[in-house]
């Protein structure tokens, strides 16, 4: 995916062009400036909307959509295709050399050569242009995979819709982790803070309320404009909700937003190349330098020997084009892009192309439990109250038969527990979907009410304040007033936290009694017992208040009255256990990170196949982690498979410790606080369904199904793509080495050149064209997961790859030279037949070499000759093109060839197949060696 545009540095000058500073852009009048000084009532009246139901009709929304257009920021369109195509003729120095060669040939009267070279230039440029176009289209497709979405309330109905559908007057709800989809006038807020750093540059999140701004306070500002940072009732498009939740009315969309004008100015800045592309460019430059030195020597020797300087110039330029893999970065980009699109079909969206290659190196995966390793569909399994079920074994088991009447279990303490679970809850019922939507835990708590013939009781209460749940405080609290005017605070959270602040409990008859240490021990034992069965345990409590005065804060959560425990189950995904088995076989260390207790975590880990031999060593709690330094953690983390009671902040320490050991880490996460760890990890993996926008933005990969097993698929694809990159590198470089060496040998030993300029250019088209590209889409070999991950320091061109390509090049050189000398010796001069035989022999060698490069260790007969359809088409068209070059009169004039007999073709096929046979024998030897020394083979 493309980088987040909000993170592009706001500069005043780029490549010599003046860019308007963002400060000027933000000072422009827009809708947020107008509405920040209006009250909520004035805003609603002006936009004709409601603070609870949004726009009153879908017809009005349609009318406004037609009037205002989509909520999108249009990027300037690229240059037309014809202009891009023509620019390729002047941007490449090598193409300019060829054009110069054609002009010189034309001036000297060699019209045939001039036409031939011109045709070659058009073919080379066209092939490169088509590949670049394919790459751009692949990347454009990737940009559409994760559209911006929001929670829209229209006509009183809540739905999850594309942000582009928003119109002024729409009502949008948002919560922690969401990205604001448009400029909003806030009408309702609960502990709302928003990170506006991507717009204003201020790092501290800004507290937001629904109170309007007093414009008179800013009369000293130029034109009395309220600064962006002081519009406290406006939520800006693209900013991130850090804490709390709220609702807002859309007042500005698209370019009519504070951010829109800045974005429009920044879209002209060219994105830098990815690290992998830069590495490939460096490889190309290194190869080019060596090639130019050799080509210069060849040209100089030829001229000294008395050969025509024009002929040597044309040969040298053609060799340069053939020897330098100028199409390498294009092929790498296309290969990665196509791989990413394949992964998207398998539920893994890679946001940054180089991450595909990095996936193959991952040797540690740190995964959340809920929703990733488990199905993320919580259901209430058991309920326990201190007075009604004094023994920990006496619990209400909701997993019993449907015929059981749970209403008979409604004692006052059970009723109080169910009441708290209902009112201390932010899930909402969607008429559109016909079910509750929200946090899976909240949804499960509301869904259980029907089993007791109880309805959602929130409508009979008025919410005054709320303390939202977060990983640090580990509880949620709401301050409510009922219909009779009684005020109370209702709390749910981790049982340890609730017990710390409780001093009484509710009896089965609704009375309140003192909570003794013995009672607390019973509660703790029961909670641990439920957790040991793999249940997530929550405790529920309340605090009666004399009145509604005062502010609800964490310090006020004390002297609670304990109501009961609820145990919820979230079964493991059926695909997780087989995936973990394969990862462990491939020497990938899998670590589970969860906020649950140690007992719950161990139970789930054993169920899904994560080894827990000794919990004392394999499990590390968040409390212990707090007391450890990064060095201490790095020393023990190799044995740890579970982090229990962990917070998102702990993830950062875990990633640091692993990277300090030299590991390549993949980290999963879905919350705002997960973002630093996701960004620090080599591969940050966010959840597509439950993940927040900021987590997706910080990640390298998004799992659209939130399924852990998809990571296995991604790693497998990453390893396969890296192997494919090495395979087409082997093919390209072996052909380059062979072409250069062939001409160098002929020149050194004063032999006529076996290939003319046009023939060398045709070979270059085959080398950089479809056959090479088709090697990049070879199907992934599932056996790659049996090999250990690559090390961070491993090179792209390993010693094995170099040895393989040099052996292939040697066979091509020897075979082609043999055919050339054999044909030339028959009449002691170079004829059209001689060059045709040599030319065709080299092309056939090229095709057999491509066939052998489809896999580095497996026989072609094992993987299947016809399994790669793109390869079959590419080789077929290449061979058809070669036949045209030697049989069609027009092409015979271009390539200086003549027709060959079937026996000639049979002879050439027999000679050129030696490179394929030799590579098959090498693979056979490698397989036999692997059976004797498996550990050696596993590192190849």
Percent with pLDDT over 70 in the chain: 79
- The side-by-side arrangement of strands in the sheet containing 642-644 is 348-350, 701-703, 683-687, 665-669, 364-368, 589-593, 642-644, 619-621
Mean pLDDT within 905-924: 94
Q: What pLDDT score was predicted for residue 802?
A: 87
pLDDT band at 26 (very low <50, low <70, confident <90, very high): very low
393-407, 427-441, 648-662: least confidently modelled range: 393-407
Buried b (16+ CB within 10 A) or exposed e, 136-172: eebbeebeebbebbbbbbbeeebeebebbbbbbbbbb
H-helix segments, 637-769: 648-660, 675-680, 693-698, 709-748, 757-768
- In 3D space, the residue among 680, 669, 586, 685 whose CA is nearest the CA of residue 360 turns out to be 586
Work out the mean pLDDT of the chain and round it to a whole number. Answer: 80
pLDDT of 764 > 60? The answer is yes
CA distance 594 to 646: 6
pLDDT at 253 over 70: yes
**What does residue 186 show for φ and ψ, rounded to 5 degrees?**
-70, 130
Instruction: Of 435-439, 685-689, 811-815, give the range with the top mean pLDDT.
Output: 811-815
Query: Are the beta carbons of 180 and 166 closer than 8 angstroms?
Result: no
The full DSSP string for 841-887 is HHHHHHHHHHHHTT-SSS-HHHH-TTS-HHHHHHHHHHHHHHHHHHH
Q: How far is CA 115 from CA 55, 61, 103, 761, in A?
A: 68, 62, 10, 14
Q: Which of 6-10, 93-97, 611-615, 741-745 has the lowest mean pLDDT?
A: 6-10
pLDDT of residue 117: 67
Angstrom CA distances, 636 to 363, 601, 661, 861, stand at: 17, 19, 11, 47
Question: What is the rounded distance in angstroms from the CA atom of residue 502 to the CA atom of residue 520?
Answer: 9
- Give the tens place of pLDDT for each residue, 512-565: 999 999 999 999 999 988 988 878 899 999 999 988 888 788 888 899 999 999
The C-alpha atoms of residue 846 and residue 328 are separated, in whole angstroms, by: 17
Average pLDDT of the residues in 400-429? 84
154, pLDDT greater than 90: yes
Q: How far apart are CA 193 and CA 301, in angstroms?
A: 74
Q: How far is CA 123 from CA 395, 503, 542, in A?
A: 78, 84, 78
Task: Report pLDDT for 921.
Answer: 92
- In the predicted model, is pLDDT for residue 570 greater than 70? yes
pLDDT > 90 in the chain, percent:
27
Q: Kindly tell me if the per-residue pLDDT of 349 is higher than 50.
A: yes
CB within 8 A of 401, min separation 6: which ones?
Answer: none
Q: What is the 3-state secondary structure (H, E, C) of 363-432?
A: CEEEEECCCCCECCCCEEEEEECCCCCCCCCCCEECCCCCCCCHHHHCCHHHHHHHHHHHHCCCCEEECC
b vs e for 841-852, b when ≥16 Cβ sit within 10 Å of the residue's Cβ? bbbbbbbbbbbb
Residue 868 has pLDDT above 50, yes or no: yes
The pLDDT of residue 431: 77
The one-character DSSP state at 548 is: S
Structure tokens at 508: 């089965």
672 pLDDT above the threshold of 60: no
Q: What is the pLDDT of residue 92?
A: 57
Quote the pLDDT of residue 645: 85
Question: Annotated active-site positions, please?
Answer: 368
Which H or E element spans position 193?
strand 183-195
Can you give the pLDDT at residue 91? Answer: 64
Exposure letters 286-297 (e unless 16+ CB within 10 A, then b) = ebbeebeebbee
The helix (H) or strand (E) run that includes residue 466 is: strand 461-467
**Of 139-153, 355-369, 603-617, which gets the smallest average pLDDT?**
139-153
Residue 596: pLDDT over 50: yes
Burial 54-83 (b: 16+ CB within 10 A, else e): bbeeeebbeebbeebeebebeeeeeeeeee
Identity of the highest mean pLDDT range in 348-362, 370-384, 610-624, 731-745: 610-624
Helix (H, G, I), strand (E, B) or coil at 916: helix
């Amino acid at each position: 995916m493309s980088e987040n545009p909000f993170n592009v540095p706001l500069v005043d000058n780029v490549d010599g062009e003046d860019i308007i500073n963002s400060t000027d852009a933000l000072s422009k009048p827009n809708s947020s400036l107008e509405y920040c000084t209006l009250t909520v009532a004035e805003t609603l009246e002006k936009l004709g909307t409601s603070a609870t139901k949004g726009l009153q009709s879908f017809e009005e929304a349609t009318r406004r959509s037609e009037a205002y257009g989509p909520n999108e920021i249009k990027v300037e369109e690229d240059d037309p295709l014809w202009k891009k195509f023509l620019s390729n003729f002047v941007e490449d120095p090598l193409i300019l050399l060829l054009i110069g060669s054609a002009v010189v040939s034309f001036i000297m009267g060699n019209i045939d050569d001039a036409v031939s070279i011109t045709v070659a230039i058009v073919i080379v440029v066209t092939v490169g242009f088509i590949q670049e176009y394919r790459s751009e289209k692949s990347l454009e497709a990737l940009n559409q995979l994760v559209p911006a979405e929001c929670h829209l309330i229209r006509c009183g109905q809540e739905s999850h819709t594309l942000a582009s559908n928003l119109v002024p007057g729409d009502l949008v709800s948002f919560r922690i982790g969401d990205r604001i989809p448009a400029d909003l006038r806030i009408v309702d807020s609960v502990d709302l803070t928003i990170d506006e750093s991507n717009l204003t540059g201020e790092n501290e999140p800004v507290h937001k309320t629904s109170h309007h701004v007093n414009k008179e306070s800013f009369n000293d500002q130029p034109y009395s404009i309220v600064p962006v940072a002081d519009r406290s009732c406006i939520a800006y498009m693209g900013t991130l909700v850090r804490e709390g939740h709220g609702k807002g009315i859309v007042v500005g969309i698209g370019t009519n937003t504070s951010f829109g004008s800045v974005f429009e100015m920044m879209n002209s800045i060219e994105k830098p190349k990815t690290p992998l592309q830069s590495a490939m460019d460096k490889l190309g430059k290194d190869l080019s330098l060596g090639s130019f030195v050799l080509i210069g020597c060849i040209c100089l020797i030829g001229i000294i020997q008395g050969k025509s300087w024009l002929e040597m110039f044309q040969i040298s330029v053609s060799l340069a084009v053939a020897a330098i893999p100028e199409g390498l970065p294009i092929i790498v980009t296309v290969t990665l892009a196509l791989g990413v699109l394949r992964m998207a079909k398998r539920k893994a969206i890679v946001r940054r192309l180089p991450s595909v290659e990095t996936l193959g190196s991952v040797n540690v995966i740190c995964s959340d439990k809920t929703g990733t390793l488990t199905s993320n569909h919580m259901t209430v399994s058991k309920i326990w109250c201190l007075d009604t079920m004094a023994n920990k074994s006496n619990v209400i088991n909701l997993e019993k038969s449907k015929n059981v009447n749970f209403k008979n279990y409604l004692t006052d303490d059970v009723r109080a527990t169910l009441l708290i679970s209902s009112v201390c809850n932010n899930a909402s019922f969607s008429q559109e979907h016909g079910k509750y939507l929200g946090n899976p835990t909240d949804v499960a708590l509301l869904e259980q009410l029907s089993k007791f013939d109880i309805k959602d009781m929130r409508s009979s209460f008025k919410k005054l304040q709320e303390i939202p749940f977060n990983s640090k405080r580990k509880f949620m609290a709401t301050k409510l007033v009922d219909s009779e005017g009684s005020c109370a605070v209702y709390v749910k959270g981790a049982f340890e936290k609730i017990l710390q602040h409780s001093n009484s409990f509710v009896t089965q008859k609704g009375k309140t009694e003192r909570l003794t240490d013995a009672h607390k021990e019973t509660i703790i034992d029961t909670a641990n017992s439920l957790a040991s069965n793999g249940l997530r345990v929550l405790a529920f409590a309340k605090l009666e208040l004399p009145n509604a005065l005062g502010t609800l804060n964490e310090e006020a959560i004390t002297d609670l009255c304990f109501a009961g425990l609820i145990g919820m189950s979230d079964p493991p995904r059926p695909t997780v256990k087989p995936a973990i088995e394969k990862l462990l076989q491939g020497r990938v260390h899998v670590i589970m990170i969860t906020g649950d207790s140690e007992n719950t975590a161990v139970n789930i880990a054993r169920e899904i196949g994560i080894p827990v031999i000794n919990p004392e060593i394999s499990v590390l709690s968040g409390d212990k982690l707090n007391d450890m330094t990064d060095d201490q953690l790095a020393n023990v983390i190799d044995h740890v498979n579970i982090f229990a009671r962990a917070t998102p902040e702990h993830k950062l320490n875990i990633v640091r410790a692993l990277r300090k050991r030299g590991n390549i880490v993949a980290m999963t996460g879905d919350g705002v606080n997960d973002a630093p760890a996701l960004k620090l990890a080599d591969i940050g993996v966010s959840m597509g369904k439950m993940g927040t926008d900021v987590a997706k933005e910080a990640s390298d990969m998004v799992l659209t199904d939130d399924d852990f097993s998809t990571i296995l698929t991604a790693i497998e694809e990453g390893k396969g793509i890296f192997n494919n990159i090495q395979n087409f590198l082997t093919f390209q470089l072996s052909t380059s080495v062979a072409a250069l060496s062939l001409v160098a040998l002929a020149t050194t030993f004063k032999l006529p050149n076996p290939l003319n300029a046009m023939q060398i250019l045709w070979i270059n088209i085959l080398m950089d064209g479809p056959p090479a590209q088709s090697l990049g889409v070879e199907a992934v070999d599932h056996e790659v997961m049996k090999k250990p991950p690559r090390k961070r320091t491993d090179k792209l061109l390993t010693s094995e790859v170099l040895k393989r390509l040099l052996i292939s090049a040697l066979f091509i050189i020897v075979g082609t030279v043999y055919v050339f000398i054999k044909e030339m010796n028959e009449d002691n001069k170079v004829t059209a037949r001689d060059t045709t035989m040599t030319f065709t022999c080299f092309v056939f060698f090229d095709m057999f070499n491509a066939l052998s490069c489809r896999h580095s260790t497996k026989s072609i007969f094992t993987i299947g000759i016809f399994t790669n359809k793109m390869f079959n088409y590419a080789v077929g068209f290449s061979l058809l093109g070669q036949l045209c070059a030697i049989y069609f009169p027009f092409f015979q004039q271009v390539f200086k060839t003549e027709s060959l007999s079937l026996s000639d073709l049979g002879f050439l096929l027999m000679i050129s197949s030696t490179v394929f046979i030799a590579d098959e024998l090498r693979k056979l030897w490698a397989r036999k060696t692997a059976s004797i020394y498996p550990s050696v083979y596993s590192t190849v």
